[in-house]
Structure 1
Amino acid sequence: MKKVKSRFLKVIFLALLILFFVITIVFLWVFIPSLKTKLDVEKFKSSNITVEIFCDNETKLKNAFDDEIYVTYGDIPQHVIDSFVCLEDKRFFTHNGIDLYRIAGAILENVKSRRFKEGASTITQQLIKNTHLTNEKSITRKLTEARLAIELEKQMSKEKILEIYLNSVYFGNSCYGIAQASKYYFDKQTQDLSVAQSAMLAGLLSAPNVYSPDKNLDKCIVRRNLVLDLLANNGKITSKEAKNAKQEQIDLEKVGLKQNDLKTYEYMAICEVAEIFAITPMQAKSMDINVFTFLDKEKQIALSQSTKQQKAKTKSGKNAQKMAISIDNQTCGVNAFFAHTNQDPFAMQRLIGSTAKPIICLAPSFEQNLVTPSTMILDEQTNFGGYKPANSSDKYDGWITVRESIAKSKNIPAVKMLNALNKDELKTKLQHLWGWDDFEINLNMALGNFEQGLTIKQLAETYLTFANDGNFSKCSFIKRIEDKNGKVLYQHNQTKRQIFRPDTCFLTTQVLKDVVNFGTARSLSPDFNLAGKTGTVGKKGSTNNSDAIFCSYTTKDTTVFWTFADYHDLLQSGINGSTLPVDMAKNYYNKIYANNKPLPFKQPTSVVKMKIDKVLLNQGKIAIANNFLPQNEVFEEYFSIYNMPKQISDRYYQMPKNTPQTKNFFDELLLDFKRLQTG
């Protein structure tokens, strides 16, 4: 019995020994890499914004980030400090950089919920992460964060740490630091913030795009009131003061009132720098570099103002969200950008409505030589094997041309075109355009109903492909990055991939010109060559829409204007692709093309213009007009040389007397017809 017990104890001892070694090895494997990152006090300098941004013409942006005023600790009101400390780190003034009580509580809460629900980072740890580390979620990163936080607390006072933290933390809407946030949300200096306003700003930090008042006022108020309760519970204000502060109204008219029109572009450029170097935006702003962008100041200001001036609400009474992008066709550089959203505009994927029709239906049908701009399609209620799409307002026009169907944004003809396509060829093109892998083509895609949606960047790049003769390129904010000595650290290389033939894109462009001249975007009435497509995303059972989009391009620029509501909300009645986004585009184009109109679209050699018999077309036949037809029965149309009409109209054709003169005349005429027939 003793031998058995002794053997059992040996096994237990051996198991514990092995476990000890395993834990030690794992700890060392994780901890040793964390020692590589050293504390760099230089990164905490108050004047740490060293990045300089240059426009497309390589002139420096005057006072880039000039509204980023640094506020010293002594100028920050006590109720502002209390708001952030009570919410983010209530033991800030007593711990040594990490809060062991909070860590224990977080572990217990996460075990109970069986998921990572609760964090335990102190203000010092957050500052370390924002200045020294990436957003990577790993044990090594957390160990590094904790070690550097403890080290920082040994070298810097609590007041200085909190000062730097409040001047660098992100508050949403491109605002870094308490001074910028005070100006953006309240048009005030930090010293003048009320208790309620301080509580609101503190409440933004965990999710600024969710709790921003201009994007979700109800959630913002709930979050602010939570902070006010914490202030009262911790004895920083009385219950009566908290109650009174909760009654304070948030003036949405002041939110973003003084926002710099260049600010959004600067922020997106910094985000791209951060992506290139795999760091945080705050770290990118502290790099000693010169960033040369594709920014066109005139277009940026015009785009920003044109988008902001068009006011819109959602069904629930909130401000509608808006974003817009303009890309230079030649360089594929983003020359203007604006976003007022509660999410990252380049990560947010949404349905695109009828802006999908040129991409999914029209261009592929030209590419596969299935239709011409004048091909007739029957617009009527149709059952596609159980799928029963309907036109807007349930109106049907009978036989109409492809041109007219796109100009009027008809759904049935679009689905019919998609139904006739070689789906494998289409799938390959979409994979090249959007990087999709695991998906199947379905008829609902003709109307923009995709499983995962598109970002504004993806949609703009696709229409840019039409503007560039079928060549696809990814767009970029940054042209190149140099250090202060002029050494190039990064160069944007424009790579192209041919997605569509030039003739396909030219025919698509000609059809989309009808959209802005006679169709759903006719309120634009441009006096220059412009092609575009409207898109509206509705909701079943409601007359309100969730998204309103207008994509367009000239020979110079490609633009997208997009207005939308939160996922659980809808736009106010009357907003669709033909209204607000078209008005934004009209204002924008009137500003940037007032004295410098873009050139007409250039016809490629693979496209011919031919005279067609109008009467036969109305009968569903595309026939080349003969010389005997009256001019009012003839019209001109563009055709790809790969899909030209062959039949010659025989209307009004009379065989004249067979004289030598007429014989020679008809011999020449027949030769001309044969040349047309053979291409």
Structure 2
Amino acid sequence: MIKSFFKSFKIILYLSLLLLVYLIYLSRDLPSLERLETFDPAMLSTIYDRNGEIIGEFYIQKRVFIDLEDMPEHLKYAAISSEDKRFFQHWGVDLQSVFRAIIVNVISMEFRQGFSTLSQQLARNLYKEIGFRDSVTRKIKEIITAIQIERTYTKHEILEMYLNTVHFGHGTYGVESAAKRYFNKKASELTIGESAMLIGLLPSPANYSPLRNLNKSIERRSIVLKVMYNQDYISHEEYMEHNSIIPDNISYEIPKSKAPYFTEYVRRTLEKIDEELGINIYQDGLKIYTTLDYGLQQIAEDVVMKTLRNNQDEFNNQLFADSERFSKLGYLSIFPEDSVKMMLNGQMQLYEELRQNLLVQCAFIALDTKNGEILAMIGGRSDYVDQYNRATQAQRQPGSVFKPFIYTAVIDNNYPVTTQLLNQPVALYRNNAKGEKEKWTPRNYDNSTGGLTTLREGLRRSLNLISVRMVQELVPAQQVKNVAKRMQIKSPIRAVDALALGTSEVTPMEITASYSIFSNKGIYSSPIAITKIEDKYGQIIKEFSTTQQEVLSPETAYVVTNLLQTVIDKGTGGSARWKYRFRHTAAGKTGTTQNWSDAWFVGFTPNISAGVWFGVDQSPISLGEGQSGTKAALPAWALFMKEAHKKLGIPDEDFVMPEGVIEIEIDADTKLLPNSSTKKREKEIFFKNNKPTN
């Protein structure tokens, strides 16, 4: 008898030791007490515009953490009654549910009922080492961790963590993100029926999603509402009311970033410094405050896309009206002309290989002239197919938009704006495709020639011959290159005479930022997109500000600005005034490249600098005969500036003349001081130390 007892005792002790060893073995891979005490789920980071409006999010799991107090009571009751009705009685494992599940599964000879508590579900949601595969090992790990969670946190905290981490389908985690995704509202605004529908998703979000199968979702909602009623969480009237509602506010549309090119630019900027700051933009729940003004972004998108459609229509019309031009585009020879026409008219899907050759593209950037803050950004068409940001990445020939750099070099060398050059052809030498030098004779846009012409008149009419002679006779190409570099043009500039015509490629953002120098009294402000980053608790991680440096004298900046004012008031940019009714004091320049391949307008007021470009990605392809900067680009710029200044309530103000510049009367013919034989007088500006004589 005694021997039998000791034998049984040894067997029990042996089995107990085996079980203990097994549990210790399983516990090796489970979260430590330190990890259990540190609840830190992956949370999305939110991007805000300058006025606090949400414009985008970065995330791997789309989750926004909210306090339990900010969730409606019926949402908590729905979760408890449906998923774990003895939540407040058990210690991590509900033994009643365990025994009931064993009996049901044994009788049915299959796995038909589970027994996971909210704590067990939280354990596998939080710790990937537990896993989701159905197995005894996983279940034991889950139970051990659930017990540890119950020992570490209060029931209130466990429920809060659960509702903030559970998966609701379609990439959303937590009730706040789910409420936003399915009903486009905050969790605190959910009705009883909506709470029941969300909780009803939990057993199988893919199967019960209202976006995929509304009827199944309604059935699941009914089950949850019935359980809530049976457990006295809602009244019979509430049950009947919400059970009868057919939802009509389901948000089927996938939310998109409000400024996709800008938010992608922000993302790339952050990825360059995330290690230095010790942040993870996809998991840390950061608040990223930016410079963008979404109101101005909307204006930009409206006017730029409208202009883009007009330019595309003109491109299409010219392409199909000129059979020779169509035939020259050799890549089209494999496609019937009718098919290409249907693609461009939207009647057929445009083949991917034709996008770069047949779609007119665009870029737009608007900056605060005083601090370089990016107010609006467009990097291409609104479909955002290729994520290629033409505002910051596309290097295109600027054409006449580059001329102000030549004029800056000349003015900086103390030449007055009344300096006259001969408006006659001049020969240049350039390298051909084989790298051989060949003679080239540039022409004016309208093929005109003339006599002696002042610098002001040369820029007003955008005369190529005057620009070329400035490089040949007044300032060498290398000096112009140095000025462009000083004005923060980072793209390589070729120091050849042809740079007078804007043949060296630049990006829209860098040239727009350089134009801001003229408005800002010679001070360059590096463009910035982010003003501040806060952690999920609201603590500031880093604040950003522009880097500023004086690159021109205030006098040179003002004189060039004054010349560019003439372009808008009386020159190639004049339609901004008489056609588009933009009345604020402004300065700017049109740009058109050879064969009408690029159309530009870059300009500024004392407050905003903006640049716009249109072209086809495959750069030699023409926008079409006559598609100049004036016709194809200026409309978007003028309309944006008009509406932007109106929206911001910016009053008209003049550019401030520095002390080193004076305005005096001169003889309109001789450009010298008036004398007794002067027939006509005009006002002109000069450096004080370089006034004309008589």
Band the TM-score falls in, shorter-chain normalisation: 0.5 to 0.7
SS of aligned partner of 2:379: strand
Of residues 363, 372, 376 in structure 1, which corresponds to 2:416?
372
Instruction: Identify the residue that residue 149 of structure 2 maps to in structure 1.
Output: none
Instruction: Identify the residue that residue 33 of structure 1 maps to in structure 2.
Output: none
Q: Distance in 2 between matches of 1:435 and 1:326?
A: 17
Instruction: Identify the residue that residue 666 of structure 2 maps to in structure 1.
Output: 612
Contact 2:60 2:283 in 1 (8 A): no
Q: Distance in 2 between matches of 1:356 and 1:257?
A: 42
Of residues 376, 399, 411 in structure 2, which corresponds to 1:336?
376
SS of aligned partner of 2:378: strand
Instruction: Identify the residue that residue 470 of structure 1 maps to in structure 2.
Output: 522
Instruction: Identify the residue that residue 61 of structure 1 maps to in structure 2.
Output: 53
Of residues 456, 465, 473 in structure 2, which corresponds to 1:403?
456
Contact 2:490 2:510 in 1 (8 A): no
Aligned-residue offset at 1:446: 1.0
Q: Distance in 1 between matches of 2:169 and 2:372?
A: 37
SS of aligned partner of 1:331: coil
Q: Distance in 2 between matches of 1:486 and 1:321?
A: 40
Q: Distance in 2 between matches of 1:580 and 1:601?
A: 28
Give the 3 Å change call, closer, same or farther, for CA 563–492 of structure 1 in structure 2.
same
Instruction: Identify the residue that residue 301 of structure 1 maps to in structure 2.
Output: 298
Instruction: Identify the residue that residue 502 of structure 1 maps to in structure 2.
Output: 554
Q: Greater CA deviation, 467-476 or 417-426?
A: 417-426
Are residue 268 (structure 1) and residue 265 (structure 2) matched? yes
What does residue range 164-243 of structure 1 map to in structure 2 within 5 Å? none
SS of aligned partner of 2:630: coil
Are residue 488 (structure 1) and residue 544 (structure 2) matched? no
For each residue in 1:144-202, what CA deviation from the matched residue of structure 2 results, as whole angstroms up to 9, or x when unmatched?
xxxxxxx98994679xxxx999959xxxxxxxx9xxxxxxxxxxx9859xxxxxxxxxx
Contact 1:261 1:305 in 2 (8 A): no
Give the 3 Å change call, closer, same or farther, for CA 438–325 of structure 1 in structure 2.
closer
What does residue range 306-321 of structure 1 map to in structure 2 within 5 Å? 306-310=303-307, 311=309, 312-313=311-312, 314=315, 317=344, 318-321=358-361
> For structure 1, which runs of at least 5 residues remain unmatched after alignment?
1-40, 72-150, 169-176, 178-188, 193-255, 540-544, 617-621, 649-679
Instruction: Identify the residue that residue 652 of structure 1 maps to in structure 2.
Output: none
SS of aligned partner of 1:579: helix
TM-score, scaled relative to structure 1? 0.56
Q: Distance in 2 between matches of 1:437 and 1:350?
A: 10
Superposed CA RMSD in Å reads: 4.0
Aligned-residue offset at 1:567: 1.4
SS of aligned partner of 2:397: coil
SS of aligned partner of 2:655: coil
Q: Distance in 2 between matches of 1:490 and 1:275?
A: 14
Aligned-residue offset at 1:400: 1.9
Instruction: Identify the residue that residue 418 of structure 1 maps to in structure 2.
Output: 471
Instruction: Identify the residue that residue 102 of structure 2 maps to in structure 1.
Output: none
> For structure 2, which runs of at least 5 residues remain unmatched after alignment?
1-34, 64-126, 135-166, 173-180, 182-209, 214-252, 320-343, 345-357, 430-438
Instruction: Identify the residue that residue 52 of structure 1 maps to in structure 2.
Output: 46
Of residues 477, 486, 495 in structure 2, which corresponds to 1:441?
495
Question: Counterpart amino acid of 1:363?
Answer: T
Instruction: Identify the residue that residue 357 of structure 1 maps to in structure 2.
Output: 403
Aligned-residue offset at 1:261: 4.8
Q: Distance in 1 between matches of 2:554 and 2:624?
A: 40
Larger radius of gyration: 2
Instruction: Identify the residue that residue 394 of structure 1 maps to in structure 2.
Output: 447
Instruction: Identify the residue that residue 598 of structure 2 maps to in structure 1.
Output: 547
Contact 1:65 1:263 in 2 (8 A): no
Give the 3 Å change call, closer, same or farther, for CA 437–567 of structure 1 in structure 2.
closer
TM-score, scaled relative to structure 2? 0.55
Question: Counterpart amino acid of 2:397?
Answer: L
Contact 1:270 1:285 in 2 (8 A): no
> Aligned residues, how many?
423
Are residue 460 (structure 1) and residue 512 (structure 2) matched? yes
Aligned-residue offset at 1:556: 0.3
Instruction: Identify the residue that residue 672 of structure 2 maps to in structure 1.
Output: 623
Q: Distance in 1 between matches of 2:625 and 2:43?
A: 44
Instruction: Identify the residue that residue 150 of structure 2 maps to in structure 1.
Output: none
Instruction: Identify the residue that residue 188 of structure 2 maps to in structure 1.
Output: none
Question: Counterpart amino acid of 1:273?
Answer: L
For each residue in 1:604-639, what CA deviation from the matched residue of structure 2 results, as whole angstroms up to 9, or x when unmatched?
0110111101132xxxxx31124x566x61111000
What does residue range 576-615 of structure 1 map to in structure 2 within 5 Å? 576-594=628-646, 595-615=649-669
Give the 3 Å change call, closer, same or farther, for CA 273–588 of structure 1 in structure 2.
same
Of residues 573, 583, 591 in structure 2, which corresponds to 1:521?
573
Contact 2:669 2:680 in 1 (8 A): yes
Contact 2:488 2:510 in 1 (8 A): yes
Give the 3 Å change call, closer, same or farther, for CA 492–351 of structure 1 in structure 2.
same
